[in-house]
Amino acid sequence: MNDDPNAMGEPSEQGRRRELTARLAVPEMDCPSCAQKVDKGLQRLDGIVDVTLQPTTGTAAVTYDAYRTDERAVVEAIEAVGYEVVGGTDPGGGEGSGSTNGVDIAPPTEVWTGPRAKKTWLGAVFVTLGLGFEFVLTGQNVAVASVLGYPLSLADGLFLVAIVASGTPVVRSGYYSARNRSLDIDLLMGTAIIAATGIGYFVEAATLAVLFSVAELLEDYAMDRARDSLRELMELSPDEATVRRDGEETTVAAEDVAVGEIVVVRPGEKIPLDGTVTEGESAVDESPITGESVPVDATPGDEVYAGSINEGGYLEIEITSTAGNSTLSRIIEMVQGAQAKQTETEQFVDRFAGYYTPVVVILAILTAAIPPLLIAEPISVTVAGYGIAFVGDWRTWFIRGLTLLVIACPCAFVISTPVSVVSGITSAAKNGVLIKGGNHLEAMGEVDAIALDKTGTLTRGELAVTDVVPVEGVDESTLLRRAAGLERRSEHPIATAIIARADVAGGGDVPEPARFESLTGKGIRGEIEGETYYAGKPALFEELGFDFSRARTKTDGGVVTTDDTESDAEAGAFADGTLAALERAGKTVVLVGTDTELLGAIAIADEVRPESRRAVQRLQALGVEHVVMLTGDNEGTARAIAERVGVDEYRAELLPEDKVAAVEALRDEYGAVAMVGDGINDAPALATADVGIAMGAAGTDTALETADIALMSDDIGKLPYLYALSHTANGVIRQNIWASLGVKFLLALGVPLGLVSVALAVVVGDMGMSLGVTGNAMRLSRIRPERFE
């Protein structure tokens, strides 16, 4: 393929295509109508393949065919619809143009000191002077000029200067909207300012221009504050790294460090990239990734993450991922992707706004045109004890129509949901919870039941052997070596525990199994020294023909006896009494033997997380109707763990497909269900649930990719925080939508009655509500996880 950028202007061959992506910052694109205008401008450009616009971050990702256009043309297309482009990749379209190394969020803007602000303040000064001469210093308000026979007073001249200063940017934006046939706030306000000025209503035009400009500045400030949370997340990872090359330390850009290189991190410095500690020991603050404020110990062999802070000692780290593939980079990328996905509420709001604005514009036109034609004489009516006069003069009804045009802007209504979603998702990310989309944020707040996997979720998932009980004639060493030999090929945590115990016990080399096979949900099978051995649940051995019910053991003064005269070696020592006693203690029992002879039993226990009970109690207190534990473990162990953590229900001895059925049954009985698991073994159940939540996902690529929501640390205490945040976010979204609609409705009712002025419509209906919904959404950033000790 020809990569020469000069070839982009040449006719392309049949099927020839070179797709590049330009990532650009468009700071002033801060609402859906702005994005719609930019999208229309880009779609008219030949060679555009795909466009992704994110008003909440002020960014545009534009994929184009480099043989038909270039990045400079993309930038010009955006600027042609009235929006300045800041930064980006190589605008010249040269080598590297359109790479993924462009901007990920619009840079901070000088809201109060920029060109738009200066024009606004200038207009405010002149409109204030004009109002002073118009209503206070009336004696000095002399005529200073005449236009087409219409005298202009000093106040009129001051108002005109204010209109030019503050209104020009508004009218300019309205012009671009008209060119793109976009019925948005810029077109409405621009039209209103021009119309009011054209018929000599200078006070109204100047007031509208200045107040609307102030409202735009306040909205820009509020949006910039909302973007700050994502900027903080992106600034966690340092730009530079100290690398050891050829025996010398060199400071280079983090993106230039290759996998396998050694990075030096001194006390107080941030870890620049993911890696494994090769030398040194230190306490590392991983709160940027996991949200955990307590530092963790980092010693040789431990994994560390980019953005973490080295608090104590000297570390040398072998890099395991590049800057663009670090855990922090993936988190940021997923947070940005989550913001780009519209929730069902957002889709509804956009559809509603598509009808709302044209209807109110039509009402505004009718309000300005019809009453003067119908009302010949003044009409007085009394409403709620107040006298209201309806007159038929054109000036009065034109101003009321103008006021309705202001109210027609749906900005506060449209931004009410996305700004809440952005605030919620970025706040969660900073607290170690990765939410993959606003739809998942909303869904989590509506769940009625939460299903929790046992191992690794309610328990630590760090299993240890507690009991080794061989049958008569078999010693512990033989039992452990046979069990460890089988488990050598298994990756289950139980295998790790058994192998560790066998290593401690000694007694000879662990044999290597042949023809190893995992029996899903039951156990394992393999050949050792030419004979087939099994290790697994009691149910597995019952399938092999063992009948434990024929030889029940009982404890008599600490001695295990049997009431079966046959006392089969394969069943006598492991009848229901012995197994049940171990299971009642919350232990998992693994039997080991062949299909005709048992060697013994190994009991394994998993420590319950100390925060599990408090977390379950908190979920119940927050309003979760039903909390259930799902496990593949035996009934006795499940019951013991369930009683300790306080769940409403437990379901034991479940295969992966049984967990799927359990989630479906919970949905039928209670409604929306969230499933919490490890993101891999519970993948089918996670996918079936309305919300799938993976725990401990910081070092697990699969969990990060497959789960709807990922708790970055092994802390189930984050689950109540997640539910509280999501539930509150849903409440905030509803408050924002109904408040903005309610205020607009009340203002619209007051306009024909003469109770609402242009200034009131701008200050309350536009500026006030936009600030109100943004401020309300920012409350989500103040929700913090509780500490469960």
Q: In what order do the strands lie in the sheet with 303-304?
A: 248-253, 240-245, 262-265, 315-319, 275-279, 303-304
SS3 for 611? Answer: coil
Write the single-letter amino acid at 171.
V
Half-sphere exposure at residue 625, Cβ-oriented, CA atoms within 13 angstroms: 13
Nearest to 528 by CA among 550, 510, 513: 513
Residues classed as catalytic: 453
CA distance 750 to 757: 9
Tokens of 118: 């200066």
Distance CA 131, CA 136 (A): 8
DSSP string, 106-148: PPP--TTTSHHHHHHHHHHHHHHHHHHHHHT-GGG--EEEEET
| Pair 760, 583: CB distance under 8 Å | no
Are the CB atoms for 531 and 514 separated by under 8 Å? Answer: no
Phi, psi (degrees; rounded to nearest 5) at 524:
-140, 165
Helix axes 411-430, 202-234, angle to 10 degrees: 20
Buried b (16+ CB within 10 A) or exposed e, 323-353: beebbbbbbbebbbebbbebbebbeebbeeb
- Alpha carbons 660 and 586: distance in angstroms, whole number: 24
Pair of tokens at residue 38: 């930019």
How far is CA 278 from its chain centroid?
A: 34
**Contact by Cβ (8 Å): 476, 700:** no
- Tell me the one-letter amino acid at 591: L
Phi, psi (deg, nearest 5) at residue 22? -100, 125
Tokens of 571: 């069943």
Q: Map tokens 């979720």 to a residue.
A: 457
Residues 6+ apart with CB under 8 A from 258: 319, 322
Residues 6+ positions from 643 with CB-CB distance below 8 Å: none
Residues in a beta bridge with 48: 64
Calculate the alpha carbon distances from 634 to 546, 583, 606, 654 in Å: 17, 7, 13, 9
Query: Hunting for tokens 């409350």 — which residue is that?
Result: 779
The answer to whether residues 451 and 673 touch, using CB atoms and an 8 Å cutoff, is: yes
CA–centroid distance for 103 within its chain: 19
**Are the C-beta atoms of 356 and 311 separated by less than 8 Å?**
no
Q: Look at residue 777 and give its three-state secondary structure.
A: helix
- Dihedral angle, C-alpha 579, 585, 587, 591, nearest 10 °: -10
**Best CA proximity match to 586, nearest among 572, 566, 568, 606:** 606
Half-sphere exposure of 192 (CA within 13 A, CB side): 35
Separation between Cα atoms, residue 68 and residue 61, nearest integer Å:
17
The strand ranges marked E within 215-299 are: 240-245, 248-253, 262-265, 275-279, 282-285, 296-298
Residue 49: enclosing H or E segment and its boundaries? strand 48-54
Contact 286, 271 (CB under 8 A): no
Q: Which two tokens stand for residue 166?
A: 């503050």
CB-based contacts of 491, cutoff 8 Å, min separation 6 = none
- Dist CA 577 CA 665 (whole Å): 33
